[in-house]
Structure 1
């Protein structure tokens, strides 16, 4: 039996839930300060943190990823280059609006055909539910949706929503834990995917940070997972450089990536 396409009422419901989240967050008047002395970036790695940028802070996270893959016992290989940019703005101390887009170029060894263009465009909100102190956990929620207004090679049939619970916690003076737990739809069918990340971060010096991370997806009973690690360098309080590498082997397919990028922020309306 063919998998049914996602009906329009389901998408309208998900959009309604996103809007309800925005209006609920806007109704909160008092909030603890989110602006940090040094920039908090979702780079490097797959995990995002539970905190927002802080009110009137505009933050950009951008980087390039080169990915390769091969199928076991075959000559089939492929490469992909992606340039990703994420834009974040704090409209309240604990609420930010965000958007991301990615330009892609894909090629396989099996043919001379390539694909390329705008491969991703999404938008959403992040809200900090709980601002933990010391060893207490911090929690956040992020809701976003991928639009269909991308190049034909990467277009889904419908809007693709995602809701994610974000957890962050200090384990020791030198170790931090971040986990993400998400349910997401592709926009092409009704079956949700369940995504997770588990990230252990640790500083190597005052300005150099590092991490090791496991992340994966459960979709229609199939479980895939991968590992990555990387470094970040704090140039100044508002500017961060990063690089990372990752590897996975699932269902007879081996894949890897190398990634490098920058993050920076601007505070409007005077000092915090």
Structure 2
């Protein structure tokens, strides 16, 4: 798995710098995977939700029920390609074992601070203006098979509740973030993640998420997450969910997950919302022959979008 991570790590154009900002909110919820694109400069975004998790390890006769909440904060500054973020989660656990001795724990279970940067973005041919050839207009652009690539680096702090502290202290997290826009409606995200680096509890995982926009308001996703850890069997879960665009700055979502192993049952459900405070402004280009500043049409009109933004702009 290490060799894989080492060997490997929604329409847009560029003007002086590559645009990341979208006129419609672009959230990572309700999936676990993350896009390589940032929210854009001077944008603050809050992605929060409540979740319930039920696990049952039949071989050990141990079951646990968890209810919690999480907040993922994203902030764009300095560069369009750069994003700073932080995630905090609080949960309450109830664990039951074969001796019928229940255990309860609660507190901050995760506090991670990090940043991501887009190192390569794939450009696609705009076929909407193609009028001479029907075949060219509707043919598949092979460039869509080459993903846009981002990198993430973060620190898992140990400012956690007593029940969730890592004996090894702080640890590090790294990821390679890939995105393929296979069509204007269909997007595939692939994340390759190394977590708890420098800790005895380190592990590797990949997440593959396929998202499809049903309309300019609704989209759904399916997702596979597989985790590899030393001396443990791979843990696999699959999820599905819906997202609803309430307005350009607010998205609502719901999801559910499970696995299919006889010796280990797992269910997870969540509801949440994403909201942004948008203070983004386009770069002003000054020309000596013009008295007042002009905005670049390429930059302001062809901003990189998510599924919602592309469909919304098409219909308007």
TM-score, normalised to structure 2, is: 0.72
C-alpha distance in 1 between matches for 2:235 and 2:198? 20
Aligned to 1:209: 219
C-alpha distance in 1 between matches for 2:23 and 2:271? 23
Aligned to 1:97: 84
Q: Is the 8 A contact 2:225 2:236 kept in 1?
A: yes
Kindly provide the CA deviation profile for residues 32-83 of structure 1, in whole angstroms up to 9, marking residues without a partner as x: 1110121111101111111001001000000011010123267642200120
Pair 269,184 (structure 1): closer, same or farther in 2 beyond 3 Å: closer
The unaligned stretches of length 5 or more in structure 2 are 1-15, 125-143, 283-299, 301-316
Aligned to 1:262: 273
Q: Is the 8 A contact 1:158 1:187 kept in 2?
A: no
Pair 250,154 (structure 1): closer, same or farther in 2 beyond 3 Å: farther
Aligned to 2:237: 226
**Alpha-carbon deviation of 1:131?**
2.1
C-alpha distance in 1 between matches for 2:262 and 2:161? 28
Aligned to 2:264: 253
C-alpha distance in 2 between matches for 1:117 and 1:223? 27
Secondary structure, counterpart of 2:234 in structure 1: strand
Secondary structure, counterpart of 2:183 in structure 1: coil
Aligned to 1:114: 104
C-alpha distance in 2 between matches for 1:71 and 1:223? 14
**Alpha-carbon deviation of 1:112?**
3.2
| Moved >6 Å (runs of 4+) | none
**Alpha-carbon deviation of 1:245?**
0.1
2:17 aligned residue (13, 19, 31): 31
C-alpha RMSD over aligned residues: 1.9
Q: Indicate the structure with greater strand content.
A: 1
* Count of residue pairs brought into register by the alignment: 242
C-alpha distance in 1 between matches for 2:109 and 2:70? 10
**Alpha-carbon deviation of 1:193?**
1.4
Aligned to 1:129: 119
The unaligned stretches of length 5 or more in structure 1 are 1-29
Kindly provide the CA deviation profile for residues 212-241 of structure 1, in whole angstroms up to 9, marking residues without a partner as x: 111111111632111000000001111100
2:56 aligned residue (61, 70, 78): 70
Q: Is the 8 A contact 1:248 1:254 kept in 2?
A: yes
Pair 66,38 (structure 1): closer, same or farther in 2 beyond 3 Å: same
C-alpha distance in 1 between matches for 2:61 and 2:159? 34
**Which is higher, the Rg of structure 1 or of structure 2?**
2
C-alpha distance in 2 between matches for 1:148 and 1:207? 39
**Alpha-carbon deviation of 1:201?**
0.8
Q: Is the 8 A contact 2:27 2:274 kept in 1?
A: yes
Does structure 1 residue 144 correspond to structure 2 residue 134?
no
**Alpha-carbon deviation of 1:249?**
4.2
**Alpha-carbon deviation of 1:137?**
2.0
C-alpha distance in 2 between matches for 1:233 and 1:227? 21
Q: Which moved more, 1:97-106 or 1:124-133?
A: 124-133
2:176 aligned residue (149, 165, 178): 165
